[in-house]
Amino acid sequence: MKRIFITMALCLLGTAALATPVEDFRNSWNYEALTHQRALEMSEPLGQTSFQFTHNSYNSVAYQNLGSYWDPNQQISVVDQLDIGIRALELDVHWAYGKLILCHGTSSHTGCSTFDRHFEDGIKEIATWLERAENQDQVILIYIEDHLDSAHDQAVDILEQHLGDRIYRPGSCRTLPMDITRAEMINDGKQVLLIGGDCSTSRWAETVFDYGFPTGNDSFAAYPVCTISGRTQQFVQTNLVRIFEDGTNLSATFGNPPPPITPQRMAEAMQCNIGIVGLDHLVPFDSRLAAAVWSWGENEPNNAGGNEHCAEQRADGRFNDIPCQQLRRAACLADTGDWAVTSTAVSWPQAEAACAAEFGSTYQFDVPRNGYSNQQLKEAREALSVSAVWLNYSDLANEGEWLPWDYPDVQPPEPPAVPVWRKLRNDHGRCLDLEDRSTADGTQIHQWSCHGADSQMWWQDPQGRLRAMTAPDKCADVSNSGTSEGTRIVLWPCHDGDNQRWERGASNSFRPAHAPHRALDIRNPLWGNGRRAHLWTFHGGKSQRWSWD
């Protein structure tokens, strides 16, 4: 059975030094643990899962310019938020100045600026992240705060153009279903859930789910109560509900901001399985991301001694990997959701039979899939004075690939093999272009205002080469296979060398395989048209973030 391997190593860094906090975090225990948690949720109904969420995701220092985003909710770009594990985004979309923009303003558009980022640019950034090979098995939720006036169909045009078949569609006016699983979506080629608005037009209702999750910032009651905004504990356990913070100066001065999401509040939310916890000012190695881990103990799994392939819940309620031959009692889950623990200690391979023998066919040797279930198991174990129990969770099939016993067969659709020619736009708003539209060997590749002529059309082939539409047998080439800062990027006949193989890295960057610590960059990007493309040390700034247009 084909499975999606849960691998923690960065796909392109090799032995090069990690260049940014985002990449360092992606190589950390915290990121690994959150990734394992998403795998545990793969076959669970949405209402019993959680999405790490940023509030006002677009209102970030990363997009500041002379007229916008000077009172930010966020410190890093949307793509960097996704790269460190965020899977739910909030985009406030306004129709103002005759265009759709991402604006932190009122419903009447007060506070919006003509310099605010275009909604389409934000969607392109997200779509480009989803296309990256390592993200083909990821599902994201986008909450669109609707200030569209009568421009809903224009917004749908943008969503259709850039997200298209990846959208899981309501088909008609309805709220977000709580019973669909991530695995079912991915196997159907879907990766994006859109919610927001009030079914304003038929096309909007067919594309975007009606606003769907209750919010109760001041009403959340921690475990064991686990209620929010008048909703029962049972409702919270079977639906996506939300709490969030608002860390802007404007709200602090003139508003009544909700309580901040501290590490303690995050841990409490995970223990109650609050599905949507909105963070402001998120950064890599944020202590609240560590608090979002309810499963593995710190720096676990570690495969100490090379023989730890089965998981236990230890005394503190955290997971730990140990040799499968050790003896533990087994954690058994009833059809009702209640946990029981066997009276007999067995080896891990014997645990399934032990559950069936002691409790019958309505119980299954299992593993918690969320923080609430994990706490319930901890209490069931402690009631019997048992210090540790086996979990039906191992990496016996593939080292490092920790999967529950019933992990589904997940098969994302294959990318199209035929060329799809598109522009590549950086976050300064200019496109990768051939100087003087030449196709001669050695032609300088530079940036230019996006105009859509063939000289700006590119296709990344299966080998990672960037082919030029005007000369499909020629590729973006690191001149003379150089690795130093400032090495020029030119057009050259395509070959199999690593200096033409561009791999996608953090921040939607392009990284040459022969020098993965460098990135495709623009020399002095603020100087405008004609500034040449070259290699530079990766930093994740606007001149290195490239989205398909």
Separation between Cα atoms, residue 197 and residue 95, nearest integer Å: 14
DSSP class of residue 292? T
Bond before 224 cis per omega within 30 degrees: yes
The one-letter amino acid code at 255 reads G
* Topology (CATH) of 424-548: Trefoil (Acidic Fibroblast Growth Factor, subunit A) (2.80.10)
Q: What is the pLDDT along the chain (549 residues), one digit of tens a residue?
A: 334 333 333 343 333 444 699 999 999 999 999 999 999 999 999 999 999 999 999 999 999 998 999 999 999 999 999 999 999 999 999 999 999 999 999 999 999 999 999 999 999 999 999 999 999 999 999 999 999 999 999 999 999 999 999 999 999 999 999 999 999 999 999 999 999 988 999 999 999 999 878 899 889 999 999 999 989 999 999 999 999 999 999 888 878 889 999 999 999 999 999 999 999 999 999 999 999 999 999 999 999 999 999 999 999 999 999 999 999 999 999 999 999 999 999 999 999 999 999 999 999 999 999 999 999 999 999 999 999 999 999 999 999 999 999 999 999 988 887 899 999 999 999 999 999 999 999 999 999 999 989 999 999 999 999 999 999 999 999 999 999 999 999 999 999 999 999 999 999 999 999 999 999 999 987 679 999 999 999 999 999 999 999
Q: Where are the domains of the chain?
A: 50-291, 304-404, 424-548
Topology (CATH) of 50-291: TIM Barrel (3.20.20)
Helical H runs in 55-100? Answer: 78-83
| Per-residue pLDDT, 9 | 37
In angstroms, rounded to a whole number, what is the distance separating the alpha carbons of residues 143 and 487? 41
CA pair distance 243, 277, nearest whole angstrom: 5
Same CATH topology for 50-291 and 424-548: the answer is no
Considering only CA atoms, which of 110, 91, 114, 111 is closest in space to residue 102?
91
* Residues 10/26, Cβ–Cβ less than 8 Å: yes
The predicted structure's pLDDT at residue 197 = 87
Measure the CA–CA gap between 429 and 419, rounded to whole angstroms: 24
Pick the closest to residue 100 from 178, 246, 204 (CA basis).
204
Taking the alpha carbons of 88, 103, 130, 28 in that order, is the dihedral positive or negative?
Answer: negative
**Side chain identity at residue 214, one-letter code:** P
How long, in residues, is the chain? 549
Q: With residue 361 as reference, give the H or E element that holds it.
A: none
- Measured between alpha carbons, how far is 314 from 54 in angstroms, rounded to an integer? 32
| Angle in degrees, 0-180, between the axes of helices 371-383 and 263-271, rounded to the nearest 10 | 70
* Per-residue pLDDT at 368: 98
| pLDDT for res 549 | 92
Nearest-angstrom CA–CA distance, 58 and 125: 11
pLDDT of residue 6: 36
Run of H or E including 174 = none
Q: Where are the alpha helices (DSSP H) in 323-383?
A: 351-359, 371-383
Determine the pLDDT at residue 1: 36
